[in-house]
Structure 1
Amino acid sequence: MKSTQIIRVTPPHLPANTDPSDVVLSQVFNANLASQEASGTADAAVSVERTLHGLRPGPQSEPHMFALIAREPGETEDYLDVPAQSDDRNFDYLGYLTVTLPLRENTDTAEVAVTLDAGLAPLPGEELSPEAVKALRRLYQLAADVAREHGRGTLQAGLMTSPSIGVDGDPRVRLMRELGFELAYQGGEYLVELGELPAAPLPEGIAATAFEGVSPPEPLVDGFLELLRIASTDVPHGSLRAEPANWSRERLAEVAAHSARLGSQLVNVVLFDAYGPVGFSYASRHPGSNPAVAEQDLTVIHPRARRQGLGTAIKAILWRELRARHPEVKRVCTFVSDDNAAMRAINAKLGATLTAIETVWQKRV
């Protein structure tokens, strides 16, 4: 009878996000397979390059990756540590765990992502096998152990579910509740075809500027940082434990350097009036990802400038700018909380289609 063992994946050691080890390739394949089965599209697939970059400790977070493997009777070799790069050893994988520790805010939190290997993962609507339940229990217990080891008292674990079965039809949800997790956030992944975009007139006194990278033009930086601070608490995030983000010029420079190392392409739009920035939205493209798809993660409007149609306008302006700079982009994948009624209405107006349900489950440990 086979036994199981946890292996720890050590951070990338090469300068470039290349030469992934077999364990990283397997995790990426299975995570993308699960995402595609939930959403019906591969547009939100995460590349190997992006995954390797995400395993590098940075100024914002500290990642830890593990895999659960099956062992043959009599095997004695110790596989405790496996490097993220340049290791071709193939194991009998059962599942994968990534625990990300925020370093600036929410330092009591551990963010958890668990993926079953394809051999154990159920299709949408199917029940979990006893072997899958056992693997998930082991991985979530490991997540709690890692959190406690690093002084974290809250687990936040994400799931992606097909709209065809809904949250209550997902067998993993029943297990999460058995393990003591509570639903803290629900939102959607949406896909927008960049066809004919609506007109985006701006009110008198408000203008738009577009830029690439992370930092806006110098005269807008301080107001831009204020928008980021507003977004950290103002954008609906359910009942997730969250703290305001303390954005500074130094922090912005750190994020810019970390992003440049990955080689992502960011297209941003800032709206501003005579007093400074009043709106911000951005889209990103990452190495190794589908070149026809961009991601949009954040749109924020300053409270003093709301109820003027700026949310719709800034998205339309951004998508036009994205298409002009990167004509190969045909679709945008965007994410929004179910509690954000205003942004959901904007997305609907722009033709967004729900592709998957995203939930985050929270537990004290």
Structure 2
Amino acid sequence: MNLPRPPQPIPGARSLFSLDPRMAHLNHGSLGAVPFPVQHAQRLLMDEAERDPRAFAAQVPTRLRLAREAVCPTIGADADLTAFVTNTTTGVALALHSLDLSSGDEIVTTDHGYPSIDFNVAAYTRSRGVVHRVAPVPLDASDDEVVDAVLAAVTARTRLVILDHITSATARLFPVARVSATLRDRGVPLLVDAAHVPGHIPADVAAVGADFWIGNVHKWAFAPRGTALFSVAPHRRERIRPLVESYGQASGFPESVEFHGTDGYTGWIASPAGPAILSQLGLERVWRHNSELAAYGQAVIAKALNTDPADLGRPSPLAMRLIPLPEGVATTQEAALALWQRIRDRLRTETAVNCWNGRGVLRIAAHVHNGAEQYERLADGLPGLLAE
């Protein structure tokens, strides 16, 4: 196997983070990493709130609106159709809460979906007698095959399709715009789980045209954790019902979703500082660096394990890549969790290990704080660890 060349590090990028240098953080996709300037921006807001809590609280709705107006252009979303929420899971719960489905109606997801999304769908369907249909999508499916698989699960009773833009467990890029257009012609609403999109790849919420779009800003776009954007189509705006009715209720969406009186808003207000750092580093340069480094990491680890990822060597904008583990390794989620812990403890490397459809898979990620030597270190140590 001919290894691709890793990219040159972006000068000064690693010094932006407080990550433990003794650990190789190859799992940026799970929790992200907050740069020093963003930490500082939030800390200043926390200090301001403690100096005069009542005055700070009175300014929260306005400052949330200004923060939304600053961040929404980075994802191509209308700030008046978008609200801050804690994470994608919360956004999915909010979308389901705003639907009026009844017994016999159907919700369609795929077998690449995120577990907590399925938890919410399961709870909703149980309480209302709604049917949950899961569309199987092969790991190596082409875009055409993804579209066909989703549409094959859609029936006359389908009232919502939930589709990942970038899948979490399997690191796949799904053609959400194509699915959106087809479902729109059929009158079927679409919810796009874009948890991994902001800051990772170019985003254009308006162009996708989904009924609901939810993306985490705290994963790849450097915002404080607990920062996501929930965006809706214009015809959905008046139908959004907040999970908790509070002081923003009278203003309607998005304020009704965002403002609950006493809450910790400093992360949302500080969130524009995250995408601003990406812009200063150069978005195109960051995207190119990250995708090339992830491809290198995938290749060097796959070579060490003698496995063959379906997308190995294929051009991809993604900064997350999947490496199938040898047969018999991590064949349950419990075994996958145990292997993740061993990799952390023994190889001092943070990764994501999952069991997908009975097959153990290793997911790696790359951002500007990573370097080629970290993937090489994992490749050197992993075969021996698995052999034990």
**TM-score, normalising length: structure 2:** 0.25
**TM-score, normalising length: structure 1:** 0.26
Q: Higher helix fraction: Structure 1 or Structure 2? A: 2
